[in-house]
C-alpha cells in the first residue's frame, strides 16, 4: 500500500519537546566564543597507544568486556584510576565503588539534578555560570537564582542573603547550590579556601547540598589549586563532579562524579542505559596511567601562553576604555566587563559578522543581567590569533561606538 500524504505529528508532540537547531556551529575568524581546549595538543597518538596497551595487556579480557554493555558506573579500571587521581590531586577520599563515570560532566550534573530537583524547586548558582547546567536546570523546571560574585567568586554573606530572600519570597529553602569554584566558567575566578569554609558553614546551617563542578582544576597554569569543597567537608553534603574533557579532549565525552552511597544510588536510578563508552575508557586509562603529569604540564604551558597573549591585547587596545577584565590563573576564559554599561549583547552578531566571536554575558545569567559583559575563550585559538583577535575586536567596537 502506498501512502502519499505526509503523516501529521502536530497533536502528538510531548510538552517538553521543541524544534532543535541542527545547523552546524558557525565560527568567526577569531573564535573566542568556543569552550575548547588547545586542539594542537590533543594527544591522539597517545590515546591510540594507551588503547593498544590495554589490548596488548589482556586481549581476551578486553574482548569479553567489549562484548558486554558497560557497567552502569563505567569501566572498573578507569574508576580505580580516577579515585586515585582525585585522592592524590585533591585529597578527596574515594574508591572505585564511589566513582560513577558519565558521558561528560554534563551527564554527571544532570543525574544529580534529576536525583534532587523537582519542578518548582530553587537552585542557587553563581551570578554568571555555565549555560549547559542552567539549561538542564530549566529543562527539569527548577528556578535558578544567581548569587552575587566578585573577582574571587561567590561572596558568602551575599549567598546567605540569597538563601534568606528565597525563603522569604517563596516560602521554601533552596534545594541545592551549584558552583564551579576553580577557574570558573565564564568568569575565570577561583574561590579561596577561606570563602569555601564560610560557604560550607552556611550550607550546613540551612541544609543545602553543594554540587561542585571541578572540571577545570587540571588547567591551572599559575600557583596551586585551592582545596575543593569535597576536600574540606566529609559529611557527604558535597557532590563532586570532574571531567577528562579539559584535561584531554571534549570529544572523548568522559566525566565522573563521586558522592555518598545514597546519592549515587538515587542518581543511578534516573540513569537510562549502561555506563559510558568502554572503548574510550580503555584509551583514557591506558594513556593517563603513564602520562598524567606530562599531559597537565603540556596543556598548562600552552594555556598560559595563550592567556598572556590575549591579556596583552586587552592591555594594548582596551586600557583607555571603560573595559575591565579578569586575569585567571588557569582554565580557558577571560571575562570582560564594560563598566560604563555599554551593551555587548546587542552588537554581538554584528561583531561576529565582522570576524570576532564571543559569548555575551546575558547567556550565562540566571537573573537576566550581564548585557555589558562577555566571555572570551583564549584556549582554542593560536597564540598570535589571541592578540590579533583582541586588536580586531577593539577596532570593531570603536567603529560601532561601543568604546
Q: Are residues 97 and 193 in the same domain?
A: yes
**What average pLDDT does range 311-331 have in this prediction?**
97
Residue with cell 577569531: 30
E runs forming strands in 226-305: 238-243, 255-258
Secondary structure of residue 146 in the 3-state scheme: strand
Q: Is residue 3 part of a domain?
A: no
| pLDDT, tens only, 80-136 | 999 999 999 999 999 999 999 999 999 999 999 999 999 999 999 999 999 999 999
Domain boundary among 262, 291, 320: 291
| pLDDT, tens only, 132-155 | 999 999 999 999 999 999 999 999
| Residue 126, φ and ψ in degrees, nearest 5 | -60, 155
- Of 186, 126, 156, 128, the residue nearest 328 (C-alpha): 186
Q: Are residues 186 and 267 in the same domain?
A: yes
Secondary structure of residue 353 in the 3-state scheme: helix
Q: Are residues 129 and 267 in the same domain?
A: yes
Q: Is residue 177 part of a domain?
A: yes
Q: Is residue 14 part of a domain?
A: no
Q: Are residues 316 and 284 in the same domain?
A: no
Query: How does residue 1 score in pLDDT terms, banded at 50, 70 and 90?
Result: low
Domain extent, residue 216, equals 45-291
Q: Are residues 319 and 260 in the same domain?
A: no
**Which residues, in sequence order, are CB contacts of 313 under 8 Å at separation 6+?**
386, 387, 388, 389, 390, 391, 394
Q: Is residue 130 part of a domain?
A: yes
* Pairing between β-strand 255-258 and β-strand 99-102 as defined by DSSP bridges: antiparallel
Q: Is residue 13 part of a domain?
A: no
pLDDT for residue 24 is more than 80: no
Please give the Cα distance from 190 to 327 (Å, whole number).
Answer: 11
Q: Are residues 194 and 256 in the same domain?
A: yes
Q: Is residue 390 part of a domain?
A: yes
Domain boundary among 291, 311, 340: 291
Give pairs for 258-264: CB < 8 Å, separation 24+: 258/83, 258/86, 258/92, 258/94, 258/98, 258/99, 258/100, 258/230, 259/98, 259/112, 260/236, 261/98, 262/236, 263/112, 263/115, 263/236, 263/239, 264/98, 264/100
**What average pLDDT does range 335-361 have in this prediction?**
98
**CATH code of residue 367:** 3.90.1150.10
Query: How does residue 5 score in pLDDT terms, banded at 50, 70 and 90?
Result: confident
Please give the Cα distance from 227 to 83 (Å, whole number).
Answer: 16
**What average pLDDT does range 376-394 have in this prediction?**
97
Domain boundary among 269, 291, 313: 291
Please give the Cα distance from 354 to 356 (Å, whole number).
Answer: 6
Please give the Cα distance from 55 to 49 (Å, whole number).
Answer: 10
Query: How does residue 21 score in pLDDT terms, banded at 50, 70 and 90?
Result: confident
pLDDT of the residue at 384: 97
Query: How does residue 40 score in pLDDT terms, banded at 50, 70 and 90?
Result: very high
| pLDDT, tens only, 181-239 | 999 999 999 999 999 999 999 999 999 999 999 999 999 999 999 999 999 999 999 99
Please give the Cα distance from 64 to 294 (Å, whole number).
Answer: 32
Please give the Cα distance from 130 to 113 (Å, whole number).
Answer: 15
Cβ count within 10 A of residue 358: 23
pLDDT of the residue at 20: 85
What's the sign of the alpha-carbon dihedral 180, 186, 189, 195?
Answer: negative
Please give the Cα distance from 305 to 309 (Å, whole number).
Answer: 6
- Tallying the residues shown for the chain, one arrives at 403
Q: Are residues 301 and 273 in the same domain?
A: no
- Degrees to nearest 5, angle at CA 396 with 391 and 399: 130
Among 24-28, 34-38, 96-100, 176-180, which stretch is predicted with the lowest mean pLDDT?
24-28
Please give the Cα distance from 202 to 298 (Å, whole number).
Answer: 38
Per the CB < 8 A criterion, the answer to whether 242 and 259 are in contact is no
Q: Are residues 188 and 231 in the same domain?
A: yes
Q: Is residue 62 part of a domain?
A: yes
**Which residues, in sequence order, are CB contacts of 367 under 8 Å at separation 6+?**
127, 145, 146
Please give the Cα distance from 225 to 221 (Å, whole number).
Answer: 10
- Of 307, 249, 330, 262, the residue nearest 37 (C-alpha): 249
Domains in the chain: how many in total? 2
Q: Are residues 190 and 281 in the same domain?
A: yes
Query: How does residue 2 score in pLDDT terms, banded at 50, 70 and 90?
Result: low
Name the helix (H) or strand (E) containing 147: strand 143-147
The residues with which 122 forms a beta bridge, in sequence order, are: 143
**What average pLDDT does range 385-401 have in this prediction?**
98
Radius of gyration of the chain (CA): 22
Provide the CB-side half-sphere exposure for 288 (13 A, CA).
Answer: 21
Q: Is residue 94 part of a domain?
A: yes
Q: Residue 341: which region, alpha, beta or left (left: phi > 0; alpha: psi -120 to 50)?
A: left
Q: Are residues 231 and 375 in the same domain?
A: no
Q: Are residues 263 and 383 in the same domain?
A: no
Q: Are residues 38 and 49 in the same domain?
A: no
**CATH code of residue 54:** 3.40.640.10
| pLDDT, tens only, 280-305 | 999 999 999 999 999 999 999 999 99
Cell of 247: 584535561
Amino acid at each position: 500500500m502506498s501512502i502519499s500524504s505526509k503523516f501529521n505529528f502536530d497533536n502528538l508532540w510531548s510538552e517538553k519537546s521543541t524544534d532543535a537547531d541542527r545547523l552546524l556551529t558557525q565560527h568567526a575568524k577569531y573564535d573566542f566564543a568556543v569552550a575548547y581546549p588547545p586542539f594542537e595538543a590533543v594527544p591522539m597518538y597517545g590515546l591510540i597507544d594507551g588503547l593498544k596497551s590495554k589490548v596488548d595487556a589482556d586481549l581476551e579480557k578486553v574482548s569479553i568486556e567489549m562484548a558486554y554493555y558497560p557497567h552502569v558506573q563505567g569501566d572498573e579500571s578507569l574508576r580505580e584510576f580516577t579515585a586515585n587521581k582525585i585522592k592524590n590531586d585533591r585529597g578527596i577520599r574515594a574508591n572505585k565503588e564511589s566513582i560513577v563515570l558519565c558521558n561528560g560532566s554534563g551527564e554527571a550534573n544532570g543525574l544529580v539534578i534529576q536525583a534532587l530537583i523537582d519542578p518548582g524547586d530553587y537552585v542557587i548558582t553563581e551570578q554568571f555560570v555555565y549555560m549547559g547546567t542552567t539549561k538542564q536546570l530549566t529543562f527539569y523546571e527548577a528556578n535558578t537564582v544567581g548569587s552575587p560574585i566578585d573577582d574571587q567568586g561567590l561572596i558568602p554573606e551575599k549567598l546567605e542573603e540569597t538563601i534568606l530572600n528565597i525563603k522569604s519570597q517563596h516560602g521554601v529553602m533552596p534545594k541545592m547550590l551549584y558552583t564551579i569554584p576553580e577557574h570558573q566558567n565564564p568568569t575565570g575566578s577561583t574561590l579561596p579556601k577561606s570563602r569555601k569554609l564560610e560557604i560550607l558553614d552556611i550550607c550546613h546551617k540551612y541544609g543545602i547540598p553543594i554540587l561542585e563542578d571541578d572540571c577545570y582544576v587540571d588547567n591551572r597554569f599559575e600557583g596551586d589549586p585551592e582545596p575543593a569543597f569535597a576536600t574540606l567537608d566529609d559529611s557527604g553534603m558535597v557532590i563532586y563532579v570532574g571531567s577528562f574533557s579539559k584535561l584531554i579532549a571534549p570529544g572523548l565525552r568522559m566525566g565522573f562524579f563521586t558522592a555518598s552511597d545514597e546519592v549515587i544510588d538515587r542518581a543511578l536510578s534516573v540513569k537510562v542505559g549502561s555506563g559510558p563508552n568502554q572503548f574510550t575508557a580503555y584509551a583514557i586509562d591506558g594513556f593517563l596511567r603513564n602520562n598524567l603529569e606530562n599531559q597537565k604540564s603540556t596543556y598548562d604551558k600552552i594555556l598560559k601562553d595563550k592567556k598572556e597573549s590575549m591579556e596583552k591585547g586587552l592591555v594594548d587596545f582596551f586600557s583607555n576604555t571603560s573595559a575591565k577584565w579578569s586575569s585567571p590563573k588557569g582554565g580557558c576564559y577571560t571575562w570582560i566587563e564594560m563598566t560604563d554599561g555599554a551593551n555587548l549583547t546587542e552588537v554581538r552578531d554584528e561583531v561576529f559578522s565582522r570576524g570576532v566571536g564571543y559569548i555575551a554575558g546575558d547567556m550565562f545569567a540566571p537573573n537576566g543581567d550581564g548585557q555589558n559583559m562577555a566571555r572570551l575563550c583564549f584556549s582554542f585559538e593560536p597564540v598570535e590569533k589571541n592578540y590579533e583577535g583582541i586588536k580586531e575586536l577593539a577596532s570593531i567596537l570603536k567603529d560601532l561606538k561601543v568604546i
